[in-house]
Structure 1
Amino acid sequence: MLKLYYNPGSCSLASHAALEEAGLPYETELVDLTQNVQFSEDYRRKNPWGRVPALLIGQDVLTENVAILNYIAGLVPERELLPKAGLAHARAIEWLSLLSSTVHVAFRPIFRPNRIAETEGGQKDVAATGLNSLKSVLSLLDQRLGEGPYALGDRFSLCDLYLFVFVLWSRRPMLDGKLGALPNLDAFAERLATRPSVSAALAQEGLAWPKAPRTV
């Protein structure tokens, strides 16, 4: 039995939805980041980095969404959740790498400025600079996605579940009206939110795609 260590609404949502998409039996265990459970001795034994997600596979633990998504896809090759070889496979890894580095990192100065600056004024400056960077990153991402309908064009893949997480983050109230229009990303996420695997993972984590349109 697989066990996913997650926190609601965090990037672990991608791996959570992937397990649903794969139709695999699994369990979940909440890692409450608001209570710093990720830094507990017990969790650090599973993931020394103190982050989510982590996937328990028997006696082994796998961390990082890129690795976990690849592993899940490999468990159900008949579902073709990621391309298996060639340029298509490389393009999927390109997307996953972009999301796990450039896109994820762009949110950090806004969500956690206290990890970069100590003073209140410094944190405001970090968040303001970070917002400009995030707007640029998301605008480029919107252009790259185009009309899709998926990250890899006409073909759904686990890349889409990871991308969905960051579009969902961009709809948090603290960012309302600050990111400009992202029509391709919003249309993509609205479609994906109705996918059974995504709606199931959202429901289990007590989340939902916003009903109101993005304020620009």
Structure 2
Amino acid sequence: MLKLYYNPGSCSLASHAALEEAGLPYEAELIDLTQNAQFSDAYRQKNPWARVPALQIGDDVLTENIAILNHIAELVPEKALLPTEGLARARALEWLALLSSTVHVAFRPIFRPGRLAETAEGQKDVAATGLNSLKSVLALLDERLGKGPYVLGDTFSLCDPYLFVFVFWARRPILEGKLDPLPNLDAFAERMRARPSISAALAQEGLA
């Protein structure tokens, strides 16, 4: 049995949707970040980094979306959820790494300025500078995605729910009216919302 530890709307949504896409039996346990549940002794025994997602696989625990998404894809090879060979494999890993590092990190100054500056003035400056950086990252992402329909072109992969997470974040109230138009990403988000695996994960997390 697989068990996913998640927080609603966080980057763990990618792994949640991936489990739904794979059709694997699993349990899901909420780790409420607003209550600092990630810092509990019980959870730190599973993930010492005190983050989500974490995927329990029997007696083992796997952390980090890139690793979890790869493992899920390998559990159902017949569904071809990620490429397995050659340049196609490398391209998928390129996208997963980009999303995990550059794109995810670009949101941090806006969502969590307190982790980057102590004073109110410093946090305001961090958020303002971060917004400019985020706009640049999202503009490049919109251009690179193009018309899609998917991250890797005409074929759905587990890169897609991961990208969806960040388009979902771009629609948070704190960013309302602050971002430039992102037509390709917006169209992509609507396609993803219509996908049963993603709509099911959103519903289970109370985000439908």
TM-score (norm 1): 0.96
Q: Which amino acid aligns with 2:202?
A: L
Q: Which amino acid aligns with 1:41?
A: D
Matched, 1:152 2:146: no
What does residue 2 of structure 1 align with? Answer: 2
Cα distance in 2, alignment partners of residues 101 and 156 from structure 1 = 22
Counterparts of 1:39-78 in structure 2, within 5 Å, are 39-78=39-78
- 1:177: Cα distance to partner? 1.1
What does residue 201 of structure 1 align with? Answer: 201
Q: Which amino acid aligns with 2:56?
A: L
What does residue 211 of structure 1 align with? Answer: none
Partner secondary structure for residue 153 of structure 2: coil
Partner secondary structure for residue 178 of structure 1: coil
> Which segments of 5 or more consecutive residues in structure 2 lack a partner in the other structure?
none
- 1:54: Cα distance to partner? 0.1
What does residue 192 of structure 1 align with? Answer: 192
CA offsets per residue over residues 33-56 of structure 1, 9 Å max, x none?
011010111100000000000000
> Which segments of 5 or more consecutive residues in structure 1 lack a partner in the other structure?
209-216
Q: Which amino acid aligns with 2:27?
A: E
Cα distance in 1, alignment partners of residues 199 and 108 from structure 2 = 26
Cα distance in 1, alignment partners of residues 173 and 49 from structure 2 = 29
After superposition, the CA RMSD in angstroms is: 0.4
Counterparts of 1:87-166 in structure 2, within 5 Å, are 87-166=87-166
Cα distance in 2, alignment partners of residues 158 and 189 from structure 1 = 14
Q: Percent identity?
A: 81
User: Number of aligned pairs?
Assistant: 208
- 1:162: Cα distance to partner? 0.0
Matched, 1:27 2:27: yes
TM-score (norm 2): 0.99
CA offsets per residue over residues 136-175 of structure 1, 9 Å max, x none?
0000000000001100000100000000000000000110
CA offsets per residue over residues 174-216 of structure 1, 9 Å max, x none?
10111110000000010110100000000000113xxxxxxxx
- 1:62: Cα distance to partner? 0.1
Cα distance in 2, alignment partners of residues 179 and 142 from structure 1 = 12
- 1:76: Cα distance to partner? 0.2
What does residue 15 of structure 2 align with? Answer: 15
Moved over 4 A (4+): none
Cα distance in 1, alignment partners of residues 6 and 74 from structure 2 = 21
Partner secondary structure for residue 29 of structure 1: strand
CA offsets per residue over residues 93-138 of structure 1, 9 Å max, x none?
0000000000000000000000110110100000000000000000
Q: Which amino acid aligns with 2:204?
A: Q
